[in-house]
């Protein structure tokens, strides 16, 4: 699934140069950065430099729906996006 969209994502970020990229979920995050140096829980919610943009990883909505305990962390991450933009 993610492999199919990767060429469009890479090309699109070069053309559009987004201020912030939001990775919704662990799998998407690691696909974007193409490495797994740190744990997702350590990285989640932090805005980091990524190429010519910033990147924030958070939970996918599906994970939040299955784990209500992550809901407040997810909404906290969404507030960070609003503040950053």
Q: Is 85 helix (H, G, I), strand (E, B) or coil?
A: coil
DSSP secondary structure string, 4-16?
HHHHHHHHHHHHH
Given a cut of 60, whether residue 3 has pLDDT beyond it is: no
The model carries a pTM of 0.77
Given a cut of 80, whether residue 10 has pLDDT beyond it is: no
Question: Could you tell me the domains of the chain?
Answer: 2-84 (3.40.470.10)
pLDDT of residue 32: 84
Given a cut of 90, whether residue 36 has pLDDT beyond it is: no
pLDDT tens across 47-73, in order? 999 888 899 999 999 999 999 999 999
Name the residue with higher pLDDT: 30 or 6.
30
| Band (7; pLDDT cuts 50, 70, 90) | low
Q: Which tokens belong to 41?
A: 């829980």
**H helix intervals, the chain:** 2-16, 26-33, 40-43, 61-66, 71-84
């Amino acid at each position: 699934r993610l492999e199919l969209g990767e060429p469009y994502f890479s090309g699109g970020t070069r053309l559009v140069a987004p201020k912030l990229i939001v990775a919704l979920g662990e799998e998407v995050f690691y696909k974007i950065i193409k490495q797994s140096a740190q744990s997702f829980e350590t990285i989640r919610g932090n805005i980091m430099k990524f190429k010519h943009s910033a990147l924030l990883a958070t939970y996918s909505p599906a994970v939040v729906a299955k784990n209500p305990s992550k809901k407040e962390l997810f909404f906290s991450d969404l507030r960070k996006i609003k503040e950053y933009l």
